[in-house]
Chains A and B, each alone.
Chain A
Amino acid sequence: MSKTDDLAQQRSRAAESREKCADWKALLERIPYAQHLGLQVQCGDAVVLVYLPCNETLIGNFMLPALHGGVVGALIELTARVAAQSRDTEKRCPRIIDSHINYLRSAKARSTFARAEIVRQGRRSSLVSVTCWQGEESKPIASGQVQLLLPTIAAEQEELHDS
């Protein structure tokens, strides 16, 4: 590959990342609980992350101290939601069906980062895998898989009918 091709590809990747970054920020801002926790979007050259600055209300064990398991759960679930909704061409708001989270290391009272990987996104559902870390990305504190349902017109009509 020539240098100009390389450069063009880098530029397009950066543009894609900027677009994704703005998208994620807008989606997070519309989630009241994400705002309450203080979730933020952090944009790199090639990767978009969700970032949770530490504050006292997130503590689950003040003796250690450590983050509450539910805070890590929320970071994973909300990151998965934003990733799935951003990927959807129609920007449909997904509903979380289930989540399974494994805690790998103790979550200290410090800033936490989350990266989402979409395992598979279909027309009706999405499976997102999220990894969280604090200091080094190679030492994750938790990882989780979240199944989401993307609403279809048929489902929406059914809901209207029910109510």
Chain B
Amino acid sequence: MSGWTEDLMNELEESRCSDAVTKACQFTEQVPHVRDLGIQVISVDRGQVRLRITPQSWMFAQEDTKEICTSILYSLADSAGGLAVIARVRELMPIATLDLRMDYLRPANGGLSLLAVATCRHLTDQIAFIDCDIFCEADSELLATAKATFMRNTHGQQFHSDGLKKNSV
């Protein structure tokens, strides 16, 4: 294969991949529960994604405190982990969480946005290993850490762009 053809092929491959990642971002933001929580995709790099959540009063752990419920951080880590798998594989495919372990280091202040940074540490044919840290966006303090494993290609179904359109709200 001549040099320029190879370059062109690489370029085509790159655009196809980034297309998959764009679709994955759109897909993530269209997931009903992600929409309900108002999770925003901030950035997607190969194997690392950043998601933000802006707290609302219904996310609190208790009526009388302004602390965000740990389960909000849990959902954020699960969503970020799933997107990190797609960002690493660069191919749209259904995935399923096998397990997720959270450590809640500090209480999350209900007045400040949360930032999740998820990284795909390792990939096998079937499994993706994910690390996710959750920070307070304002002061970069680490609030929680997560470790998760995901099963790749569950049900052998593919996400299609027409599926996205059909289901978009």
Contacts and interface: CB of A to CB of B under 8 A. Distances in A.
Interface in A78-117: 78, 93, 95-103, 106
Contacts of A106: 96, 154
Given A63-B159, A68-B78, A70-B79, A102 B107 contact: no
Interface in B88-132: 94, 96-104, 107
Question: What's the dominant secondary structure at chain B's contact region?
Answer: helix
Interface stretch (A53-61, A118-126, A129-137): A53-61
B78 A62 contact: no
- Main SS class of interface, A: mixed
Given A103-B98, A103-B99, A93 B62 contact: yes
Given A35-B58, A97-B103, A99-B102, A74 B74 contact: yes
A43 interface: no
B34 A32 contact: no
A32 B58 CA distance: 5
B163 A71 contact: no
Most chain A C-beta atoms within 10 Å of own C-beta, residue among B61, B77, B99: B61
B31 A36 contact: no
A74 B75 contact: yes
Given A68-B31, A100-B101, A30 B71 contact: no
24 contacts: A31-B62, A32-B57, A33-B61, A33-B71, A33-B72, A58-B33, A59-B32, A60-B31, A68-B31, A68-B34, A68-B75, A68-B78, A68-B79, A73-B74, A73-B75, A73-B102, A74-B72, A78-B69, A98-B102, A98-B103, A100-B100, A100-B101, A101-B101, A103-B99
Given A73-B71, A97-B104, A57 B62 contact: no
Nearest to B102: A99
The 6 A-B residue pairs with the shortest CB-CB distance in the complex, in nearest-first order: A70-B75, A74-B71, A68-B33, A33-B69, A57-B36, A69-B97
Range of interface residues on chain B? 35 or more
Q: Interface residues of A toward B: which range?
A: 35 or more
Interface string A37-65: 00000000000000000001111111110
B103 to A, nearest CB: 5
A77 B59 contact: no
Given A68-B75, A68-B78, A102-B98, 4 more contacts: A61-B31, A69-B82, A70-B33, A98-B101
